[in-house]
Amino acid sequence: MDYNRFVVAFEGISGSGKSTQINKLHQHLAERGINCIIIKESTISDSIERVLNKMENNVTDADFFHWFRKIIRIYERSKDYSEALTKTNDAEIVIVDRYKYTLLSILMELDLAQTNYSEALVGLLPDPDILFYFDLSAEEAVRRIISRGDPIRKYDSIAGLTRFANNYSRQFCGLKNSNIDYYKIDASNSIDEIHKKIIEIVLDKRTKNEE
């Protein structure tokens, strides 16, 4: 497929501040007259959710069903990303809130990251032009989630977030030798400081692409 788009991906655990910075980046670019859109992390469609709920009532192997549900979740998200990237004809910059590295982290949880499942479910998605990873301790992330009044989901425990952060780190440790512009953001810094850094990186990359 042709994904001729300038893609800026944001990755990181819940509570690390991705959504705040995504919205600030989108607003800043829009104010400069730059056409951009945000692709957000999708959920399982209602029709598939109904089928899964019916299946859940009739399965005897709970572990298998949990595995199967995650695979379906990854497939749905990968499909949504692919479709969104092909339909953004007027957008100069596409900002993605959690991208394929989140999907790969889930596959790592299932011990499927280095299998044909990984290639089939995630392999067709293009690499981003810029990748921001928001690095924050699980303890601080949970504190932020609680302070904003959000419920702590099963995967938002300190143990769950730590495990997911480790999965991210395992993926990103080799990116410095790749063609991806990868930036590890210290998410404990102030909102304005992080925003300034992101704006500088994105606009500099855009300018170089136009030269």
> What is the model's pTM?
0.85
Interatomic CA distance for residues 44 and 100, integer angstroms: 16
More confident residue, 169 or 117: 169
Query: Residue 191 has what pLDDT?
Result: 96
Interatomic CA distance for residues 15 and 20, integer angstroms: 10
CA-based R_g, the chain, Å: 18
Delineate the domains of the chain, giving CATH numbers in brackets. Answer: 6-210 (3.40.50.300)
DSSP H or E run through 194:
helix 191-210
Render pLDDT for 16-38 as a digit per residue (tens, 0 to 9). Answer: 999 999 999 999 999 999 999 99
Render pLDDT for 97-139 as a digit per residue (tens, 0 to 9). Answer: 999 898 888 888 887 766 676 777 787 788 899 999 999 999 9
* pLDDT range class, residue 92, cuts 50, 70, 90: confident
Among 1-5, 117-121, 130-134, 202-206, the range with the most confident prediction by mean pLDDT is 130-134
* pLDDT range class, residue 1, cuts 50, 70, 90: very low
Report the chain's mean pLDDT, rounded to a whole number: 84
More confident residue, 56 or 91: 91
Please give the DSSP secondary-structure letter assigned to residue 148. Answer: T
